[in-house]
Structure 1
């Protein structure tokens, strides 16, 4: 019983579900039919196909319509008769306008396609617009000519009015008669620009006049009036830039320049005060009132710094001027110390030249303290001398060896035949001496008593400078004439006794002074290493010469006293040097 009831309820549910599906399908079918019917109705309401074969293009217009066109033709004929007799007047041009109106009326009334009628209408339209616009164009050209004459005489106001009238007439032509030959958009634009130009030009001239007036007032130091005049010039230029863009008178750069100039005027009074204080400081310095001058220079620097901060865009703002006044202040304040350093330096030179090295060492130590004080207390002073600082530092380092070095140098000098006031080192500079003076040895053929090699001309000159500091006397390289005088004649000289050449030097420089000296007492003038010469007759960009040949030259070559040239910075293992000292 329970099983039968359960199966009965399932069967009823399936029957209801099938009916529902049937009605859904029927509804969809009805909707589809409605949509198709709607499309069919719309197609019937739309445009129909036209059969052009059944159209009649030769519909004959009625007599009344033909009468309209005939009237138009007669009016045109009347106009042609006038043209035969004279130039057309305004009432004559009106005949052509009536003919045009009648032709338009005819075309509006006819239902036929009349291409000739349309062409006639276009011809009448162009003809009428050309004639109607001709008088306006002539008047516009005449106005433009008058405007140009007025502009040439600088009557800008009346010139502007004439240009504006010419522009209005050309504008009327362009708007009313676009088919005429007088139609010209470019001319209208040009006239409009001329109107703007001559409207703006008086403003620019006024601005320039105010600027010139301000410049004169600046020279007279009338700062208040100058500021007012320049402000007027700025206002006018600003108006030109805002209202007359695109004209020649508009200029952003000029406006910015005027504003900078205005800042300059506002800062001018401060600048005048700076100049006054600086000039007063110069006067005090000239009178040797150094401390007062230093205080005034410092005040000028302070005032200039205030000006820089308050008016950054001013032409009077200058950080360089601040530095200059600070430099002058420290120079004035350190002037006495600078004189003391100069006096001690001269005394040191005197002691060294007299070979009083112990006393010189004490002066060097004192100088070292003074130079350091100058550098630390007055770093901006013009009396700071970098070359002097280097010299004193060097002498301070070698002060304990001053006597030893002087004795060694003076003991090795010989007079040069026929040369007065100078003596030359009897040997090439050995490596031990070069190392003692320079603190380094660049030679590739090492040996304390061998000549220093791999030395450039510049290196040799640096050695001479340092040795001159120690001796207190000028030291330099020998000239070619001094070298040849020291060498003397070679006619009866047996070179193998005096020179190191390729025959016996094994390709490297040998110890100095180991061969026989020449007649003048000098060793190794030929062979061993070629020696740099002083370049007193040559430009700095040119190379330098070295003389005497080297250990790779043959004796025959050395007999000719080889003279070679090389860049001043070149370092060669067969090139050395010797020195001459003023006595």
Structure 2
């Protein structure tokens, strides 16, 4: 990375033209409102540094970019859900285009997906990146969940959620500022084998054990699944 590249502000994945000007004035916000921003997760000898969104993609952002909201549990600041893996890929490319970035995903006429690893466009995290971000880049972290051991303070799961998703960022973040990494919504990753894709995080319908960091990467869904508890989070390459 050149010195000129380092001067580019990657602090926010969504510039002002993609943010709701009335964000803080909406009614029925549960507790607090967390605006989306990119956070740098510094890598190591095995994993390159990358930027990751502090919250999953919200329904209002998805609506602004794609012109629709497919979610079952409707709420502007709730995570978008009922989106397939391909829906998430198309969103990433559309947002990249809107922000004048080259697309990370290359899709041929038959719908096959490949990658442009040189792109700085929006993409889904790999399973390794997701887990690395969940432990705040600290491989020695011994917490059960992302940010601590008390899931009630960290995320929405089957005991405290009323079995529905909630506005992003209502619980405590982990030490690098990432919210909802344990609970609220399962998140699609880039890891796909045949038609099955790894998901991470646990959701509002999960038992606590499924939200544990050590369990992440073990769960898969078919790539065409549109479930009320599956959404996604954005990353960008450093």
| Pairwise same-fold verdict (TM > 0.5) | yes
CA offsets, 1:179-210, max 9 Å, x none? xxxxxxxxxxxxxxxxxxxxxxxxxxxxxxxx
**Which residue number in structure 1 is paired with residue 112 of structure 2?**
none
Please tell me whether Structure 1 or Structure 2 has the larger radius of gyration of its CA atoms.
Answer: 1
1:529 paired to 2:185: yes
**Which residue number in structure 1 is paired with residue 167 of structure 2?**
511
* 1:286-365 → structure 2 map (5 Å cutoff): none
Q: 1:402 to 1:528 in 2, by over 3 A?
A: closer
How many pairs were matched up? 181
1:574 paired to 2:229: yes
Tell whether the 8 Å contact from 1:402 to 1:470 is kept in structure 2 after alignment. no
TM-score, with structure 1 as normaliser: 0.29
* 1:52-451 → structure 2 map (5 Å cutoff): 404-405=17-18, 412-418=37-43, 420-451=48-79
Tell whether the 8 Å contact from 2:36 to 2:53 is kept in structure 1 after alignment. no
TM-score, with structure 2 as normaliser: 0.69
Q: 1:494 to 1:417 in 2, by over 3 A?
A: farther
Whole-Å Cα distance in 2 between the matches of residues 470 and 436 of structure 1?
11
Runs of at least 5 residues in structure 1 that lack an aligned partner in the other structure = 1-353, 356-400
Runs of at least 5 residues in structure 2 that lack an aligned partner in the other structure = 1-7, 22-34, 102-119, 136-140
SS state at 1:505 partner: coil
Q: 1:470 to 1:406 in 2, by over 3 A?
A: farther
1:480 paired to 2:133: no
Identify the structure with bigger relative contact order (alpha carbons < 8 Å, sequence gap 6+): 2
Ranges of 4+ aligned residues in structure 1 off by more than 3 Å: 560-563
**Which residue number in structure 2 is paired with residue 53 of structure 1?**
none
**Which residue number in structure 1 is paired with residue 210 of structure 2?**
557
Tell whether the 8 Å contact from 1:456 to 1:571 is kept in structure 2 after alignment. yes
**Which residue number in structure 2 is paired with residue 520 of structure 1?**
176
Question: How far is the alpha carbon of 1:420 from its aligned partner?
Answer: 4.0
CA offsets, 1:66-114, max 9 Å, x none? xxxxxxxxxxxxxxxxxxxxxxxxxxxxxxxxxxxxxxxxxxxxxxxxx
Whole-Å Cα distance in 2 between the matches of residues 533 and 578 of structure 1?
8
Q: 1:407 to 1:440 in 2, by over 3 A?
A: closer
SS state at 1:445 partner: coil
Whole-Å Cα distance in 2 between the matches of residues 421 and 557 of structure 1?
27
CA offsets, 1:258-304, max 9 Å, x none? xxxxxxxxxxxxxxxxxxxxxxxxxxxxxxxxxxxxxxxxxxxxxxx
1:501 paired to 2:157: yes
Whole-Å Cα distance in 1 between the matches of residues 219 and 210 of structure 2?
12
**Which residue number in structure 2 is paired with residue 57 of structure 1?**
none
Whole-Å Cα distance in 2 between the matches of residues 475 and 523 of structure 1?
19
**Which residue number in structure 2 is paired with residue 364 of structure 1?**
none
Whole-Å Cα distance in 2 between the matches of residues 555 and 455 of structure 1?
24
Whole-Å Cα distance in 1 between the matches of residues 20 and 235 of structure 2?
15
Tell whether the 8 Å contact from 2:59 to 2:75 is kept in structure 1 after alignment. yes
Tell whether the 8 Å contact from 2:36 to 2:54 is kept in structure 1 after alignment. no
Question: How far is the alpha carbon of 1:421 from its aligned partner?
Answer: 4.7
**Which residue number in structure 2 is paired with residue 331 of structure 1?**
none
Tell whether the 8 Å contact from 2:58 to 2:78 is kept in structure 1 after alignment. yes
- When you count strand as a share of all residues, which structure comes out higher? 2
Tell whether the 8 Å contact from 1:549 to 1:561 is kept in structure 2 after alignment. no
1:456 paired to 2:84: yes
